[in-house]
Amino acid sequence: MWLKTIKFCTIDFIPNRHKNTLKKQKIEDLAIFGDTPVFKEKLHVGRPNIGDKKNLLDRVSDVLDSGWLTNNGPNVQEFELRLAEIIGVKHCFAVCNATVALQIAARALELKGEVILPSFTFIASAHALKWINITPVFCDIDPNTHNIDPSKIEMLISPRTTGIIGVHVWGRPCDVETITQIAEQNNLKVLYDAAHAFGSSFQRKMIGGFGDAEVFSFHATKIFNTFEGGAITTNNDQLAHKISLMRNFGFHGIDNVIELGTNGKMNEISAAMGLTSLESIDDFIKINKRNYDCYQSELGDIQGLKLIHYDENERSNFQYFVVEVDGIKAGVSRDLLVKVLHAENILARRYFYPGCHQLEPYRTLVPDVGLRLQETEKLVTRVMCLPTGTAISITDIMQICSIIRFTLTHSKKISELLSSGLTGFG
């Protein structure tokens, strides 16, 4: 049954602690110094999880035969019902992507003026606001959770503030209780960017029913995907009515437009992919959990690395495997480690470097905002995501971990060689 099995994972990772699986024995064997990469093919962080191809192709064939390709078709309707049922929320609207979903939700909530959100998020969270003339006001994060720090929200509230966007970064829930309290005391709306959080819970309730509304992403790189896509969920009937209008140009029946709207609709092929992906989501999560256990077991004891922790009492999708590198303790900076990994075709990503506030147009508009974002500024220099998902095997992870262990063990020599400009022994 959906999500019930996560904690009793049957795809076991059998710990094989630090068995030397590395094909490379000497520093000169590292690809950064000119040797052959350990992986022939590039290992991506965001490789899509693909469900049962036959089921998908059957659904696609039905869509083509039906002559109904988009505009609230039967697959979209079924997909929305399934999602609402899984999440336990009253209303669910499938949309073309999470960025447009954030814009629709923000407009439907009548957000304007300033909205407070973390800078440690994908640029879409901030751009969605700016695109509709709202000023994003960046708040610092809690270094333990990587999520917005509620204790720093109130000092940012001004007479122009209309709302808060909490981002459940890596699928780990925000401090929903404190955010709700602050919002109630200050008459603010709350929207959650739950792009990473499908299948995760807060206090045993599925993400999707918190705040005034929540927004999911079903982009190709997410736990399950609809190629491009997303959803807006809410328990508020009035808000739901507005969202349903706004997603479809403001149409209320034929020839009658009663709202400013946009085109946020999901098409039938995307919904077919969504329905197919949902059939396999238990397996996707189990595989992520197995990968998580393997990384924990192989890297857990290395000084200078802090590994992501998912609360065992909550549901998690284990979608991201995140490592913080303490350059001093590890003897090697995050950036150097990423370079070593990239040379080996392990495409670790520095999400969300350098923080939204350091990207345009925000860095020009508010150049010194970083001064109050000290935890964000620290984290963006330390954090690194490693490949996980169904495309990665345990053997791959053992190799990745061996390269990391080897690099940290020989950090001094590697750093010296690289700073002397030596990137090949030949």
Residues at the site binding ligand T4K, with contacts judged by CB under 6 A = 44-48, 97-99, 121-122, 124-125, 167, 193, 195-196, 217, 219-221, 230, 347, 351
Contact at 8 Å (CB) between 245 and 252? yes
- The two tokens of residue 301 are 């004891």
Rounded to a whole number of angstroms, the minimum distance from the CB of residue 378 to ligand T4K is 20
Of 252 and 342, CB closest to ligand T4K: 342
Rounded to a whole number of angstroms, the minimum distance from the CB of residue 26 to ligand T4K is 29
Instruction: Give, for 135, the enclosing helix (H) or strand (E).
Output: strand 135-139
Per 3-state DSSP, the chain is made up of helix, strand and coil in percentages (nearest 5) of 40, 15, 45
Of 89 and 95, CB closest to ligand T4K: 95
Task: Determine the Cα–Cα distance for residues 132 and 104; give it in Å rounded to an integer.
Answer: 10
For β-strands 321-325 and 305-307, DSSP reports them as antiparallel
Specify the DSSP class assigned to residue 193. E
Of 321 and 351, CB closest to ligand T4K: 351
Task: Determine the Cα–Cα distance for residues 18 and 76; give it in Å rounded to an integer.
Answer: 47
Rounded to a whole number of angstroms, the minimum distance from the CB of residue 124 to ligand T4K is 4
Rounded to a whole number of angstroms, the minimum distance from the CB of residue 389 to ligand T4K is 9
- The two tokens of residue 387 are 């490949």
Of 9 and 213, CB closest to ligand T4K: 213
Rounded to a whole number of angstroms, the minimum distance from the CB of residue 233 to ligand T4K is 15
Contact at 8 Å (CB) between 217 and 230? yes
Sole residue written with tokens 């304007």: 112
Instruction: Name every residue whose Cβ is closer than 8 Å to that of residue 74 and which is 6 or more positions away in sequence.
Output: 66, 68, 268
Rounded to a whole number of angstroms, the minimum distance from the CB of residue 220 to ligand T4K is 4
| Beta partners for residue 115, in sequence order | 136, 163
Of 107 and 196, CB closest to ligand T4K: 196
Task: Determine the Cα–Cα distance for residues 385 and 326; give it in Å rounded to an integer.
Answer: 15
Task: Determine the Cα–Cα distance for residues 97 and 264; give it in Å rounded to an integer.
Answer: 8
Rounded to a whole number of angstroms, the minimum distance from the CB of residue 218 to ligand T4K is 7
H helices present in 300-419, as ranges: 327-330, 334-343, 362-365, 374-379, 394-409, 411-419
Rounded to a whole number of angstroms, the minimum distance from the CB of residue 262 to ligand T4K is 14
Instruction: Give, for 86, the enclosing helix (H) or strand (E).
Output: helix 74-87
Specify the DSSP class assigned to residue 121. S
Of 41 and 237, CB closest to ligand T4K: 41
Please name which of 376, 382, 394, 389 lies closest in space to residue 296, comparing C-alpha atoms: 394
Of 352 and 406, CB closest to ligand T4K: 352
Of 292 and 351, CB closest to ligand T4K: 351
Of 403 and 414, CB closest to ligand T4K: 403
Of 135 and 221, CB closest to ligand T4K: 221
Rounded to a whole number of angstroms, the minimum distance from the CB of residue 261 to ligand T4K is 18
Rounded to a whole number of angstroms, the minimum distance from the CB of residue 67 to ligand T4K is 28
Of 33 and 351, CB closest to ligand T4K: 351
Instruction: Name every residue whose Cβ is closer than 8 Å to that of residue 51 and which is 6 or more positions away in sequence.
Output: 224, 273, 276, 277, 278, 279, 280
Task: Determine the Cα–Cα distance for residues 279 and 274; give it in Å rounded to an integer.
Answer: 9
Rounded to a whole number of angstroms, the minimum distance from the CB of residue 174 to ligand T4K is 12
Which residue in the shown chain puts its C-beta closest to ligand T4K?
A: 46
Task: Determine the Cα–Cα distance for residues 134 and 236; give it in Å rounded to an integer.
Answer: 23
Which phi and psi (to 5°) does residue 206 adopt? -65, 140
- The two tokens of residue 404 are 């990391």
